[in-house]
Structure 1
């Protein structure tokens, strides 16, 4: 375990030695991804929905349409939970019971706040964009007044966040190590493919360097 939990509800209770409360590690895990899942309660029960995010300092931003149910619900400043996870490997043990995953995950608890300040809202949209495709914000057209108005931005403080990480080989029962069964880890990574141009792309437009750097096969 790294660091101390700031609140009781972010303590990692199942295999607590995998819990990490160091903010630098939490930030690294968040910055390595761009898709989160947000859990919250509505009148008909709990909901969990995926959405893009971006981090700026101690703040996590998400955005969406005012017509979206998640945005409508959380504009009311209801408690919510945000999760991010990366699968780094499939852990293959000798027994099925001890099969597992190597992973990095973050859980954030908090009450989202709508961003109404125009400058911060525009900055938040930049943060989310740059978290997904670094360099795109300065290349593509910025939101116009209508698009800006049709977008809600919510922010979560990272004051209540914890990470949980598993690495390494399987942990079998001692008597199973003599079994004639292959055991180990199958690494898992996420990669990009070759860029696919829009059929209506104008002639003469070349691939920008920031996209060439991101894409494989280009």
Structure 2
């Protein structure tokens, strides 16, 4: 049975997952806020140490309950590095550009999350398939059941990781610019330019067989 948001453990900030700037104003410990960000975004940035130096890799992901799933080729250096120690995963949604009357008060309205932890490699066949389904369904809802499932060979060439979502921070900004009172008489325009991500009309593959219509689960994303 899926645990409801109301009964799940709230985020418990640790030293490295505690928001310091604007703490109490822009941070949140409500797990629903974390879920909403992860379920809306499409790409995360995986931070690992590779050859002794930090690296940040854009990565497709999926969330299943309190777990984040990541995958990639078994030859992927960043995933191999992720299995050797702790990682960080960042997700950001930009909602608008905030124009202020002072250059120092320009900002962005955003929703962001950062997760810390040590990933676990999934080796059980059923768990790996579940994780891959979650990842595909996150990016393309409704697609998994309409396409060919992974073969044993494809699965053998794929690394699948799970990361617990307990150690995470959420930070957001909304509203108007925070101009100084002395700048309120300025003639410069102040306000917010909203930013929205939308899907354009689907483009069929050049080698798609004639007569195959665009499925409902694709059209419904618009």
TM-score range, shorter chain: over 0.9
Instruction: Report if the CA contact (8 A) 2:18-2:169 is conserved.
Output: yes
Instruction: Report if the CA contact (8 A) 2:62-2:69 is conserved.
Output: yes
Instruction: Note the alpha carbon deviations across 1:21-43, whole angstroms, 9 max, x for none.
Output: 11111111110012000111122
- Partners of 1:75 and 1:171 in 2: how far apart? 42
Q: Which residue of 2 aligns with 1:40?
A: 48
Cα separation, partners in 2 of 1:211 and 1:4, compared to 1, 3 Å: closer
Instruction: Note the alpha carbon deviations across 1:130-188, whole angstroms, 9 max, x for none.
Output: 00010000111111111111110011100101100000000101010000111000000
- Partners of 1:33 and 1:13 in 2: how far apart? 24
Q: Which residue of 2 aligns with 1:52?
A: 60
Task: Identify unmatched segments of 5+ residues in structure 1.
Answer: none
Q: Which residue of 2 aligns with 1:25?
A: 33
Q: Which residue of 2 aligns with 1:182?
A: 189
- Partners of 2:140 and 2:37 in 1: how far apart? 17
- Partners of 1:214 and 1:191 in 2: how far apart? 9
Instruction: Note the alpha carbon deviations across 1:71-107, whole angstroms, 9 max, x for none.
Output: 121233x110000000000000001100000000000
Note if 1:62 corresponds to 2:70. yes
Note if 1:97 corresponds to 2:97. no
Task: Identify unmatched segments of 5+ residues in structure 2.
Answer: 1-9
- Partners of 1:173 and 1:122 in 2: how far apart? 54
Alignment of 1:1-218 (within 5 A): 5-16=12-23, 17-76=25-84, 78-215=85-222
Q: TM-score, normalised by structure 2?
A: 0.93
Q: Give the ranges of 4+ consecutive aligned residues of structure 1 lying more than 3 Å apart after TM superposition.
A: 3-6
Q: TM-score, normalised by structure 1?
A: 0.94
- Partners of 2:108 and 2:82 in 1: how far apart? 32
